[in-house]
Structure 1
Amino acid sequence: MDMSDDGPLAGARVATRLPAQDLERARRFYADRLGLVPVDERPGGLLYRCGDTEFVLFASAGTSPGTFTQMAVEVRDVDAVVAELRRRGVDFEDVDLPGFRTRDGIAEIDGNYPSKGARGERGAWFRDSEGNLLGIGEPVR
């Protein structure tokens, strides 16, 4: 059975869930550093809206491995966003791998996901207060 166009998840929305060992610490980080405030709160969780998408920080006894991008945000001007986040105290990751290196916190990435219609991406990564690795990307057309 081919479910590529009409599968059970075809009309679903995707919502990211990020673990937080300390929700109050995370709330302060997201407010002070990222300028985001929860749009809803429940015991053990904070719901945030970013553009027309949502993500949740949930209370967790486990820790994030922080070894891969757990959530990424697409922006129009990665240089301006990185500069503003740095001004707010966000530290960006330095990456130096074969074929993948950041310069002043931003990497030039060849290739991109076909659905974005871009030839590449410029990206930057940082960790939130809970160790989650978050990315910021700007498609290069």
Structure 2
Amino acid sequence: MADLSKAFSGFSTDDVPTALAFYADTLGLDVTEENGMLFLHFEGHDVLVYPKGPAHAPASYTVLNFPVEDVPATVAELRGRGVPFERYEGTPTETDEDYVFRGGGPLIAWFTDPAGNVLSIIAAS
């Protein structure tokens, strides 16, 4: 039987050097570049960011979630590094003045990478 237990996820970008700078320098993640693709290294798994060039269309859903102990403090820290967060108004996921959704479930805040892919900061459970 095929061993499919070492799966990992991935998503595309339109600009690998810009994505590298964002994930490594702005977010401070452990990132390597191999064969023109990026690997984001996390505890126990990697995420692939692959080039799609001008054909790239940002994901319309959250592709990567970062669990943290303090969502508002993390949002404030990342905003201080220049990361713009999404403000949703008049929707089921309406965010407050701190860019945090507090409408039930875990606290969560959304932002995008330079290619427009949706990422989140979410309360660790």
Partners of 1:99 and 1:43 in 2: how far apart?
Answer: 41
Partners of 1:99 and 1:60 in 2: how far apart?
Answer: 32
Paired position in structure 1 for 2:106: 121
Paired position in structure 1 for 2:99: 105
1:50-104 CA-to-partner distances (Å, cap 9, x unmatched) read 2333211111132233422122121121122111111110000001234431012
Instruction: Within 5 Å, give how 1:1-141 maps onto structure 2.
Output: 12-38=5-31, 40-61=32-53, 62-103=55-96, 104-110=98-104, 120-139=105-124
Structure 2: state its 5+ residue gaps.
Answer: none
Distance 1:74 1:29, change over 3 A: same
Partners of 1:14 and 1:97 in 2: how far apart?
Answer: 38
Structure 1: state its 5+ residue gaps.
Answer: 1-7, 111-119
User: Relative to total residues, which structure has the larger strand share, 1 or 2?
Assistant: 1
How many pairs are equivalent?
A: 123
Give the secondary structure class of the aligned counterpart of 1:85: helix
Question: In angstroms, what is the RMSD of aligned CA positions?
Answer: 2.4
TM-score by length of 1: 0.75
Percent identity over paired residues: 32
Give the secondary structure class of the aligned counterpart of 1:131: coil
Partners of 2:93 and 2:51 in 1: how far apart?
Answer: 34
State the Cα distance separating 1:32 from its structure 2 match.
Answer: 2.4
1:95-130 CA-to-partner distances (Å, cap 9, x unmatched) read 1234431012100142xxxxxxxxx20000001011
State the Cα distance separating 1:28 from its structure 2 match.
Answer: 0.9
